[in-house]
Amino acid sequence: MQAIILAAGEGSRLRPLTQNRPKALLPVAGKPILGHVIASLHAAEVHDIIVVVGYRSEMVMRYLAQYNDIKVVHQKTQLGTADAVAAALPFVTGDLLILPGDNYISVSSIMDLMHHTNAILVTRSKDSTQYGILTIKEEQIVAIHEKPKHATSMTISCGAYHISHDLCALIPSYGYDITDFLEATLSHVPFTAVYTSEWGDAIWPWHLLGLNDLLLSQIIAVKNGQISSHAVIEGAVYLEPGVKIGPYTHIRGPVYIGHDVTLASHISIGSGCSIGARSYISPFTSVSNSLMMEDVIISEQCCISDSVIGENVRMGASVRMVEGIGALKMPQGELVDTQFGVIVGAGTHIGSCSTLSHTIIGAEADLGIGLNLSSCIIENQVQVR
């Protein structure tokens, strides 16, 4: 069985987090989303893998260099999923799995999909207007409607397919997206609905917290590094090599902590946290239900919850990031109901004694001391005083 992983897109709705890396390389629970997809394929004994790259392709190729069973092909212009498959078709020799490189799909879901030729992985979703909506009769898919404004069904396509070799060549014939091919084909070719509950996606930045929770629920306890005898570690906590944990620091799993992270004394790390490599957290700070990328420095007496923090962020002392609820008008023009703390783009500096809630901060922004911000969006490279 061959597999194509589609990893050419940017993930523009996830900005500012995708400002300098594609969505497929966003780290969740200690590994890029693409890495979780590859791990699931390997566990399902699929080792003939083609990855289609495009946006920031050099970064994706650099990450993929660690694998010896992956062929990389380029989608020159990101026109759509069918066009991405077309780039890989010269290397397809049989039945095909097509998977998104920026969604999590479990091993068991992939194996179930492999057992049904001409099949679509489906799930039930509360937010059905962001996906292809399916009409299903007796486990057969009879219609698909891409991102309708008013959904008539809560069953959606996960964007993962098993397609027979004879149909593969037809995928680019009907338009730029795979859904164009499906809309033209479902009337005369039966496709099976393969249900899963082990799938996750992130449309908006705060959705990464739910994806992080899903993947953290699967980690096991591994202890590496230097751990103070006065530190307390409970539950499934994965510590990479080089971690340093100071006295009277308390970690409650599930938690992932990347290599060479330093947690000073008197720190509380609550469940649902992932902390990226080489980050430093100063004393008397608490972090809960948050995802932190690489090389973040947090000063003393900060309180961070329900937030996603990009790489190389610097945070002054006594900063509070707390959850807020409400509608935000996103830069794309959409009004979206949201619930999160703070989203922070890469390279941003946040001044001491600031309280932030329900706010998105762009990359390389500079926030002054003592700010109180709620329910707002700050653009890249902006100074706020």
Question: How far apart (Å, rounded) are the C-alpha atoms in residues 12 and 248?
Answer: 41
User: What one-character DSSP code corresponds to residue 21?
Assistant: S
- Answer yes or no: do 64 and 147 share one domain: yes
In a domain, 123, yes or no: yes
Q: Does residue 316 sit in the same domain as residue 180?
A: no
Mean pLDDT confidence for 165-185: 88
Dig out the tokens for 13 from the structure. Answer: 């709705």
What pLDDT is attached to residue 148?
61
Nearest CA to 51 out of 42, 38, 40, 39 is that of 38
Residues 10 and 37 in one domain: yes
Residues 238-269: tens digit of each pLDDT: 999 999 999 999 999 999 999 999 999 999 99
pLDDT band at 74 (very low <50, low <70, confident <90, very high): very high
Domain check: are 199 and 224 in the same one? no
> Count of domains in the chain?
2
Burial grade of 149 (CB within 10 A; 0-12, 13-18, 19 or more)? exposed
Is 344 a domain residue?
Answer: yes
359, β-bridge pairs: 342
Name every residue whose Cβ is closer than 8 Å to that of residue 384 and which is 6 or more positions away in sequence.
Answer: 365, 366, 367, 368, 371, 373, 378
Phi, psi of 370 (to 5 degrees): 70, 30
Evaluate whether residue 140 is within a structural domain: yes
Identify whether residues 107 and 144 lie together within a single domain. yes
Beta-sheet pairing, 155-163 with 119-124: antiparallel
Determine if the peptide bond prior to 283 is cis (ω within 30°).
Answer: no
Is residue 236 classed as helix, strand or coil in its secondary structure? coil
Domain boundary among 203, 237, 258: 203
Positive/negative CA dihedral, 320, 323, 326, 331: positive
Residue 188 confidence (pLDDT): 86
Average pLDDT over residues 279-308: 98
The DSSP secondary structure of 358-377, one letter per residue, reads SEEE-TT-EE-TT-EEES-E
- Strand bridging mode 191-195 / 119-124: parallel
Q: Within a domain: residue 81?
A: yes
pTM: 0.92
* pLDDT for residue 7 is more than 90: yes
> Per the domain annotation, does 213 fall within a domain?
no
Question: pLDDT (tens digit, 9 = 90+) per residue, 101-156?
Answer: 999 999 999 999 999 999 999 998 776 566 777 878 878 887 787 666 665 667 88
Query: Which tokens belong to 342?
Result: 């703070």
pLDDT category of residue 64 using cuts at 50, 70 and 90: very high
In this structure, what CATH number is given to the domain that contains residue 198?
3.90.550.10
Token code pair at residue 355: 């309280």
Domain hosting 37: range is: 2-203
Residue 224: both structure tokens together: 């590496």
Whether residue 235 sits in one domain with residue 178: no
Do residues 164 and 34 both lie within one domain?
yes
Nearest alpha-carbon partner for 24 in 251, 257, 201: 201
pLDDT of 339 strictly over 90: yes
Tell me, yes or no, whether 98 and 179 share the same domain.
yes
Strand partners, 262: 244, 280
Q: Could you tell me if residue 209 is inside a domain? A: no
- For residue 194, which amino acid is it? V
Return the CATH number at 247. Answer: 2.160.10.10
Q: Take residue 100 and report the two structure tokens written for it.
A: 């998104």
Helices (H), the chain: 33-43, 57-64, 81-88, 107-114, 165-168, 178-185, 207-216
Output the average pLDDT for the chain: 92
